[in-house]
Amino acid sequence: MMSRATDRLKVVLSHLERPTARIAAISTSAQIASHYDHHALRYTLDSDVLSPEQKLSYEENGFILIKNLVSEEDIDKFRVEFERICRREVLAPGLLVMRDVAIVKSEFVQDQKAVSKVQDFQEDPELFRYCCLPQILRYVEAFTGPNIMAMHTMLINKPPDAGKKTSRHPMHQDLHYFPFRPADRIVCAWTAMERVNRTNGCLVVLPGTHRGTLREHDYPEWEGGVNKMYHGIRDYDPQLPRVHLEMEKGDTVFFHPLLVHGSGMNQTQGFRKAISCHYASSDCYYIDVKGTTQENLEKEVQGIAARKYGLDDSFTFKDSWAMRGRLVQGERTSL
Ligand X SMILES: O=C(O)CCC(=O)C(=O)O
Ligand Y SMILES: CCCCCCCCCCCCCCCCC(=O)SCCNC(=O)CCNC(=O)[C@H](O)C(C)(C)COP(=O)(O)OP(=O)(O)OC[C@H]1O[C@@H](n2cnc3c(N)ncnc32)[C@H](O)[C@@H]1OP(=O)(O)O
Residue 174 near Fe ion by CB under 5 A: yes
Report whether 116 contacts 159 (CB < 8 A). yes
Minimum CB distance to ligand ATP, residue 296 (Å)? 16
Please give the residues from 121 up to 160 whose contact with ligand Y meets the rule CB under 6 A: 152
**170 is a site residue for ligand ATP (CB under 6 A):** yes
304 is an interface residue for ligand Y by CB under 6 A: yes
Residue 156: name its binding partner from ligand X, ligand Y, ligand ATP, none (Cβ under 5 to 8 Å by kind).
ligand X
Distance of CA 311 to the CA centre of its chain: 27
Of 149, 174, 315, 151, which Cα lies nearest the Cα of 231? 174
Neighbours of 107 (CB within 10 A): 4
Write the CA distances from 223 to 35, 59, 175, 233, integer angstroms.
Answer: 48, 37, 26, 17
Dihedral (C-alpha) 61, 63, 66, 69: value to the nearest 10 degrees? 180
Interactions with ligand ATP, residue window 243-272 (CB under 6 A): 262-265
DSSP string, 305-320: HHHHH---TTS-HHHH
Based on CB atoms, which residue is closest to ligand Y, 44 or 119? 119
Interacting residue with ligand Y among 81, 161, 174, 283 (CB under 6 A): 174
Q: How far is the CB of 117 from ligand X (least distance, A)?
A: 7
CA distance 296 to 275: 27
- CA of 50: how far to CAs of 107, 219, 280, in Å? 50, 37, 18
Size of the site for ligand ATP (CB under 6 A): 14
Q: How many residues does the chain have?
A: 335
Using CB under 6 A, which of the segments 1-9, 62-70, 96-104, 128-136 binds ligand Y? 96-104
- Which residue, 5 or 277, has its beta carbon nearer to Fe ion? 277
265 binds Mg ion (CB under 5 A): yes
Residue 198 CB, nearest approach to ligand ATP (Å): 5
| Cα–Cα dist 275/241, whole Å | 26
Nearest CB to ligand ATP, comparing residues 170 and 325: 170
Binding part of the chain for Mg ion, among 90-98, 244-252, 258-266, 314-322 by CB under 5 A, reads 258-266
Binding site for Fe ion (CB under 5 A): 174
Residues within the interface to ligand ATP (CB under 6 A): 168-171, 198, 204, 220, 232, 236, 238, 262-265
